[in-house]
Copies of this chain bind each other. A is one copy, B any other.
Amino acid sequence: MSSTYGENLKLCIFGQSHGAAIGMTLDGIPAGLAVDFDALQAFLDRRSPGQGDWSTPRKESDQPEFLAGIVDGYTCGAPIAAVIRNTNTRSGDYEELKDRPRPGHADFTAQMKYGGFQDAAGGGHFSGRLTAPLCIAGGLCKGWLEALGIRIGAHIIRIGSEAAGGFDPLQPQLDQVGQFFPTLNADAAERFQAAIAAAKAQGDSVGGMIQCAITGLPAGLGEPMFGGVESRIAQIVYGIPAVKSVAFGIGEQVATLNGSTCNDAFAIENGKIVTETNRCGGILGGITNGMPVLFTAAFKPTPSISKPQKTVSLSQMEETQLQVKGRHDPCIVPRAVPVVEAAAAIAVMDMLLGNTQTPRRKD
């Protein structure tokens, strides 16, 4: 199914970039969960455009209207529905892109799949704008998880050739993230912003990488095989446009190590079983071990750049040039940070709702 996620909750994301509205329905949430609308809006604002030199100047309010499922600040058990009106009107700017697809964008594949019936304006259903309703659902879930002691936070660990260190895998510094351009130190933020500015100055864009941590999860969450925590998180994180890699713990580094240097030794700390290191990212056999869950997502550079690019004319079936007009984020990574948190929150909420743990055997 295309735009629907979840085993125990069902999230449907709808809308096109220049359609009447974007929004989401979220079914399967129990009644009685409190909703903090101010905290949710603050979360959504982290994704909003126009927050610095690094993002598109297009200004959207991104204030959701809740149509259903919440009464007097609590979920009522019925599906939650929310919409964000699009204020940008439809324009003819995109007819050209329908004939001359942007390299790196979904213009071409949408044409192949939908045969010309797709909504091409602004990228249609493939627009990064669709991450706003993902953040509505994720922001709600994040709040409910926090009430259970489960915290989620993400930060930028790479922009182009500039890199920075990751979280302490045993104690992720979640208090240091949560703002708009989250890095673990000011130096990294400066270097990253300079890299984005440099790309922008050249009419170009740049990619990057985000690391996300989830703390407070109980040991024993997740299912064997296809229902493992990695499977569930990877499926939804790959639903975020531009993601090309999802890795857990130390990720690809595991391929370079020996068992003796990769395994995380068990130890006892304050009467609780822990691992002394956390290379596995808190997951063994698809199931949480009680340590922080850690994963990274690599984002490709925004495909829409103002530099001329080679493409083809679908109607003429000939090679041609394309220079993308309009204003686009030179780097979507800063705005993608809350989106990654949202995706993680939805995946965790879904798993918790279906979690069946067995009390310890007595005999």
B225 A76 Cβ-Cβ under 8 A: no
B224 A160 Cβ-Cβ under 8 A: no
Within the assembled complex, what's the spacing in Å between the Cα atoms of A300 and B255?
A: 5
Knowing A76-B118, A226-B235, the reply to whether A245 touches B247 (Cβ < 8 A) is yes
Within the assembled complex, what's the spacing in Å between the Cα atoms of A204 and B258?
A: 6
Q: Is A268 positioned at the interface, with any CB of B under 8 Å from its CB?
A: yes
Within the assembled complex, what's the spacing in Å between the Cα atoms of A311 and B353?
A: 31
A20 B207 Cβ-Cβ under 8 A: no
A220 B112 Cβ-Cβ under 8 A: yes
B15 A12 Cβ-Cβ under 8 A: no
B224 A2 Cβ-Cβ under 8 A: yes
B239 A231 Cβ-Cβ under 8 A: yes
Within the assembled complex, what's the spacing in Å between the Cα atoms of A307 and B199?
A: 50
Chain B residues, Cβ within 8 Å of A106: 224, 284-287
Knowing A224-B125, A226-B236, the reply to whether A356 touches B30 (Cβ < 8 A) is yes
- A282 nearest CB across to chain B (Å): 10
Q: Is A22 positioned at the interface, with any CB of B under 8 Å from its CB?
A: yes
Residue-wise, chain A 323-363 has the 8 Å CB interface mask toward B (1 for contact) of 00000000000000000000000000000011011111100
A243 B227 Cβ-Cβ under 8 A: no
Within 8 A of B (CB), among A59-93: 65-69, 71, 74-81, 83
Q: Is A265 positioned at the interface, with any CB of B under 8 Å from its CB?
A: yes
Number of residues from A at the complex interface, CB < 8 A: 156
Q: What are 5 A-B residue pairs whose CB atoms fall within 8 Å in the complex?
A: A20-B67, A32-B117, A199-B258, A230-B244, A244-B247
- A300 nearest CB across to chain B (Å): 4
What residue in chain B is nearest A109 (Cβ atoms)? B287
Residue-wise, chain A 220-249 has the 8 Å CB interface mask toward B (1 for contact) of 111111111011101110110101111111
Chain B residues, Cβ within 8 Å of A209: 252, 255
A68 B104 Cβ-Cβ under 8 A: no
Chain B residues, Cβ within 8 Å of A31: 113-115, 117-118, 358
Within 8 A of B (CB), among A277-302: 280-281, 283-290, 298-302
Taking a contact as CB atoms closer than 8 A, the residue among B21, B102, B255, B356 that contacts A158 in the complex is B255
Within the assembled complex, what's the spacing in Å between the Cα atoms of A226 and B298?
A: 17
Taking a contact as CB atoms closer than 8 A, the residue among B28, B80, B221, B285 that contacts A126 in the complex is B285
A238 B244 Cβ-Cβ under 8 A: no
Q: Is A318 positioned at the interface, with any CB of B under 8 Å from its CB?
A: yes
The interface-forming segment of A3-11, A41-49, A145-153, A168-176 is A3-11
Q: 15 other contacts beyond A3-B27, A28-B356, with CB at 8 A cut-off?
A: A2-B28, A8-B354, A13-B225, A14-B25, A16-B68, A32-B114, A104-B262, A104-B284, A108-B289, A112-B289, A113-B221, A113-B222, A126-B224, A244-B250, A265-B311
Q: Is A212 positioned at the interface, with any CB of B under 8 Å from its CB?
A: no
Taking a contact as CB atoms closer than 8 A, the residue among B13, B116, B253, B263 that contacts A104 in the complex is B263
Q: Is A132 positioned at the interface, with any CB of B under 8 Å from its CB?
A: no
- A199 nearest CB across to chain B (Å): 6
A10 B4 Cβ-Cβ under 8 A: yes
A208 B125 Cβ-Cβ under 8 A: no
B300 A256 Cβ-Cβ under 8 A: no
Chain B residues, Cβ within 8 Å of A158: 255-256
Knowing A32-B359, A103-B266, A266-B101, the reply to whether A25 touches B12 (Cβ < 8 A) is yes
- A321 nearest CB across to chain B (Å): 10
Within the assembled complex, what's the spacing in Å between the Cα atoms of A127 and B112?
A: 41
